[in-house]
Amino acid sequence: MAKKRVGKPVRAVAKTKTKTKSKAKAIVRRAVKRTARATKYIYFFGNGKADGERSMRDTLGGKGAGLAEMTNAGLPVPPGFTISTDVCSLYYAHKGRTPESVEAEIAVHVRKLEKAAGAVLGSTTNPLLVSVRSGSKFSMPGMMDTILNLGLNDVAVEGLKARTSNGRFAFDSYRRFVQMFGSVVLEIPKAVFEHEFDSVKRERGVSLDTDLDEQALRDVVSRYKRVVRSKTKRDFPQEPHEQLAMARDAVFRSWMNPRAQEYRRIYDIPDHIGTAVNVQMMVFGNTGGRSATGVGFTRNPATGAKEFYGEFLINAQGEDVVAGIRTPQPITELKKVMPKAYAQLRDITSRLERNYKDVQDFEFTVEDERLFMLQTRNGKRTGYAAVVIATDFVAERLITQKEAVLQVDPESLSQLLAPGFDPAEWKAIPVATKGLPASPGAASGQVVFTAEQAVKWSDAGTPVVLVRRETAPDDIHGMFVSQGILTATGGMTSHAAVVGRQMGKPSVVGASELEIDEDAKVCSMGGQAIREGDFVSFDGLTGEVKLAKVASKPSEILQVMTGELKAGKSDICRRFMLMLTWSDKYRRMGVRANADQPDQAELAYAFGARGIGLCRTEHMFFGEGRLPIVRRMILADTEVDRRAALAELLPLQREDFYGVFKAMHGEPVTIRMIDPPLHEFLPKREDLMVAVAKLEAKGATGAELEEKRVLLRRVEQLHEFNPMLGHRGVRLGITYPEITEMQTRAIIEAACQLTKEGGKVTPEIMIPLVGDVRELRDQKMIVDRVAKAVMKERGVRAKYLVGTMIEVPRGAMTADKIAAEAQFFSFGTNDLTQLTFGFSRDDIGKFLRVYQDKKILDRDPFATFDVEGVGPVVRAGVELGRRARPDIKLGVCGEHGGDAASIHFFESVGLNYVSCSPYRVPVARLAAAQAALAVKVGD
């Protein structure tokens, strides 16, 4: 960013040839000044004024921008400075070194901070202590590192003791610092420190950390320092500026740790944006009973309810709450113990919510009854909460409908369609234990105790529930694949809760009766032992855990859609519909569904699909009793035999088409002619070979053996080395025109029948895999001939269109010629991606992960459209197609049609509609609205 801004003055200088020398000098001076401003790397905040502000998340990260904003708003924020994300890029560009010029800028800001704090780093009488915390543009809870109490050393700790007259507090802070620094910066395993800490507790006969006195904590510090010496072969660094530089670089390094990388992969966060580092004066929640630390949300992030929500711990420091080491108290209790701080906190946080027009996730510390704000950011929430909060905000006039549309992540709507348990069945099973309802949804699966096991079993198709004492960021891959997450410790803002909610994974946390022995792979719950592989189920909305396998039930919204539940009985369905109605006001593109059966079409219509964008007719061939007819058609040696089998299929296809047309209430229905290679309808070659060999071994001679031999011969004839590039799509219709004839007849007969009954329908007959206009011309002639004949026979005129899929790159590059014959195009981005990349869509799984790990691919191109490489192919298809036929209808029916990020691209090229699976229709409606709004403002 900085570099771009530098460019302007240089051009300005070049244009000033005719101007006087002094003017040119002035411009150069201004340029130099601007350059200096452009390369500002450190942003100060304190004493009511900040260099940055909330819109600077790219540069300051979310945390830095929030701290700047709160400082500017006059809120009680300890002073500090943010080292920008640009420095992180420099750190990596300089092979793990922060440039000296930046070091110098940091040194200036340390002095400024010392002045604002009225304390000096490393002072023996009045030491300044700071926190060093990561903070990227997108919050990545717990994924990167943090160091607290930095600045302490053997003399400063005595200074802290003298200043606060609290030796216990001083040494508690020091032992925390050595441990954090030791594990994060010096990379000594945490367990080594924990072992020492536990030994001291055991020797003193205490169980709580807070029971250790100053002397005991001095002992802990000495032991920790010995650990550092033995593990790193050097003493614990005593010089605070060196500590700061080492901590800063460790935070930069943590950007690339495996769990942060995994997190970014899951959430599509680019690697190149880097993290900022916030250095801030410490305030202390661990000075005694009048101090506390806590985290909270302005609304319930699990249910969206309008309630002040959060947790705190008395006499504790920052990370204790999130780490789940002690079970915190609900934030409402703070009202009783520190009423003044509580009232101030409520006031500040509601002001923040109004200011940001969004739920705030905040962190605070109370030091000797004085409140300090340490963070505010838009809170992560479940899909359920997102919809409740956005609709409440509109009702409260805090945001407009348009802002609500922009606020909700489209994926939230798909979370709302997740299943729950049948209430009667669930009630009948006794409750084994209860935990905190951290993330709603029904989870049922076999117990695993490690993330690795979760991945292994779920890869093998076993649904698993991950049971942990507490989860850590390292568990993220296991959490991702589990049906749900159950933990024994931690509160509603613990790692498992935060991440579970964000992933939309049902989660129950802090089920304190749960005793887990992760090594022995056993836990006990409600007095019963549970081993790895046993079934457990829980409800993430109530926190109830049960020892059984329980089938889940469709979501409330789905029940309304299918008519099982009255719409008026479901509050969430009302809100869901509101969101979609608002979305429809802003979207430009239509949303259709990919559906092959009448019931799917009905559901899609209920979800708001206005048209079918893809009806894969071959799916109808797999219907009950149809496969034998299809096989007869394929096995036929003569055209006469083939036509006889096709005649049997005709009424069945006609019936399906009629049902789909009816379900769509007159909206357009795109029907694609048969696409896959024919051998897909026959048994597998290897299976047939085994069956024949077995029968032969048994000495069988009858009809069964003969039938299997015939089948095997035909399968061998049809065998292809590259079926995806072989005899499929339009090539089938060209070699077997009678298939196209039968399918056209079925479509037009169904349309005539419905038209006769007074119904409305416009079938769009779609020819797949066209790469040359002559292929389309060949098929179109058949379609038109048969359609004409059928209409004549039936004495009915039915409107229909003929078009094609653009899914072969050659088709896109010759789209002008193809458009001369095609009334519409539907971009088949599955095949188009396959053929543009040359990646087999069925085999990419074997190497995709390696490609992603090696940063060759950021995303799976079959899930999220590849704008860079496949994008120009689609763009060419659109432009050439429109040039030849300006009113051509353009849509997309590949999987990308239901993916929010891809929809943005389709909006930008001006497609008329997207088509996706029925369940993705709500997501597509909202995403299309967001894309239209973004494209309008030039995003």
| Amino acid, res. 43 | Y
* Angle (deg, nearest 10), helices 598-606 and 639-663: 30
β-partners of residue 536 are 445
Closer residue to ligand PEP (CB): 224 or 827: 827
Closer residue to Mg ion (CB): 749 or 807: 807
Decide: helix, strand or coil at residue 719: coil
130 binding partner (options ligand PEP, Mg ion, none; Cβ < 5 to 8 Å by kind): none
Give CA–CA dist 51/72, Å, rounded.
9
Contact characters 48-87, ligand PEP, x per CB under 6 A: ----------------------------------------
Closer residue to ligand PEP (CB): 653 or 829: 829
Contact characters 691-730, Mg ion, x per CB under 5 A: ----------------------------------------
Please return the burial class of 846, using the count of CB atoms within 10 Å of its CB with bins 0-12, 13-18 and 19+.
exposed
Closest approach of ligand PEP to the CB of residue 729, in Å: 8
Give CA–CA dist 341/367, Å, rounded.
10
Stretch that binds ligand PEP, among 298-306, 374-382, 679-687, 822-830 (CB under 6 A): 822-830
Closer residue to ligand PEP (CB): 779 or 829: 829
Closest approach of ligand PEP to the CB of residue 738, in Å: 22
Binding-site size for ligand PEP (CB under 6 A) equals 10
Give CA–CA dist 226/383, Å, rounded.
49
Closer residue to ligand PEP (CB): 807 or 866: 807
Closer residue to Mg ion (CB): 353 or 807: 807
For position 917 contacting ligand PEP by CB under 6 A, the verdict is no
Tokens 């001083």, located at residue: 170
Catalytic residue among 88, 109, 477, 495: 495
916 is catalytic: no
- Sheet containing strand 309-314, strands side by side: 329-330, 309-314, 292-297, 360-367, 370-378
H helices of 292-361, where? 319-323, 334-337, 339-356
Stretch that binds ligand PEP, among 49-57, 685-693, 775-783, 823-831 (CB under 6 A): 823-831
Give CA–CA dist 367/281, Å, rounded.
13
Stretch that binds ligand PEP, among 5-13, 212-220, 474-482, 829-837 (CB under 6 A): 829-837
* Binds ligand PEP by CB under 6 A, chosen from 109, 546, 616, 745: 616
Decide: helix, strand or coil at residue 715: helix
For position 894 contacting ligand PEP by CB under 6 A, the verdict is yes
Q: What beta strand segments (E) does 474-563 contain? A: 484-487, 507-509, 515-517, 522-525, 528-531, 535-539, 544-546, 552-553
Contact characters 595-614, ligand PEP, x per CB under 6 A: -------------------x
| Inter-residue contact 467 to 483 (CB < 8 Å) | no
Distances (CA, A) of 119 to 89, 104, 365: 31, 20, 19
Phi, psi of 42 (to 5 degrees): -120, 135
**Secondary structure in 3-state letters for 130-183:** EEEEEEECCCCCCCCCEEEEECCCCCHHHHHHHHHCCHHHHHHHHHHHHHHHHH
Q: Locate 318 and state its tokens.
A: 């920052």
Neighbours of 460 (CB within 10 A): 8
* Binds ligand PEP by CB under 6 A, chosen from 893, 928, 932, 933: 893
Total residue length of the chain: 939
Closest approach of ligand PEP to the CB of residue 610, in Å: 19
Closest approach of ligand PEP to the CB of residue 766, in Å: 10
829 binding partner (options ligand PEP, Mg ion, none; Cβ < 5 to 8 Å by kind): ligand PEP
| Inter-residue contact 514 to 433 (CB < 8 Å) | yes
For position 363 contacting ligand PEP by CB under 6 A, the verdict is no
| Amino acid, res. 444 | S
**Could you say which residues in the range 778-837 bind Mg ion, by CB under 5 A?**
807, 828, 831
For position 830 contacting ligand PEP by CB under 6 A, the verdict is yes
| Inter-residue contact 442 to 555 (CB < 8 Å) | no
Give CA–CA dist 685/688, Å, rounded.
5
Closest approach of ligand PEP to the CB of residue 404, in Å: 32
Closer residue to ligand PEP (CB): 477 or 616: 616
Give CA–CA dist 341/438, Å, rounded.
26
| Inter-residue contact 897 to 916 (CB < 8 Å) | yes
Closer residue to ligand PEP (CB): 324 or 676: 676
Closest CA to 894 of 905, 883, 908: 905
Closer residue to ligand PEP (CB): 612 or 614: 614
Closest approach of ligand PEP to the CB of residue 829, in Å: 5
For position 495 contacting ligand PEP by CB under 6 A, the verdict is no
893 is catalytic: yes
Catalytic residue among 88, 523, 752, 893: 893
Closest approach of Mg ion to the CB of residue 629, in Å: 24
Please return the burial class of 351, using the count of CB atoms within 10 Å of its CB with bins 0-12, 13-18 and 19+.
middle
257 binding partner (options Mg ion, ligand PEP, none; Cβ < 5 to 8 Å by kind): none
Closer residue to ligand PEP (CB): 408 or 614: 614
301 binding partner (options ligand PEP, Mg ion, none; Cβ < 5 to 8 Å by kind): none
Residue 188's Cα: distance from chain center in Å? Answer: 32
Q: What is the CA radius of gyration of the chain?
A: 33
Closest approach of Mg ion to the CB of residue 831, in Å: 4
Closest approach of Mg ion to the CB of residue 877, in Å: 14
Closest approach of ligand PEP to the CB of residue 614, in Å: 6
β-partners of residue 132 are 147, 279
Closest approach of Mg ion to the CB of residue 809, in Å: 13
| Inter-residue contact 532 to 449 (CB < 8 Å) | yes
**Secondary structure in 3-state letters for 432-468:** CEECEEEECCEEEEEEECCHHHHHHHHHCCCCEEEEE
616 binding partner (options Mg ion, ligand PEP, none; Cβ < 5 to 8 Å by kind): ligand PEP
For position 831 contacting ligand PEP by CB under 6 A, the verdict is yes
Closer residue to ligand PEP (CB): 188 or 916: 916
For position 764 contacting ligand PEP by CB under 6 A, the verdict is no
| Pairing, β 889-892 against β 824-827 | parallel
* Angle (deg, nearest 10), helices 703-718 and 627-635: 70
Closest approach of ligand PEP to the CB of residue 810, in Å: 15
Stretch that binds ligand PEP, among 161-169, 531-539, 625-633, 827-835 (CB under 6 A): 827-835
Closest approach of ligand PEP to the CB of residue 356, in Å: 40
* Binds ligand PEP by CB under 6 A, chosen from 361, 556, 807, 821: 807
* Binds ligand PEP by CB under 6 A, chosen from 134, 829, 836, 917: 829
**Could you say which residues in the range 664-703 bind ligand PEP, by CB under 6 A?**
675
Closer residue to ligand PEP (CB): 455 or 832: 832
Enzyme catalytic residues: 495, 893
Chain contacts with Mg ion (rule: CB under 5 A): 807, 828, 831
Chain contacts with ligand PEP (rule: CB under 6 A): 614, 616, 675, 807, 828-831, 893-894
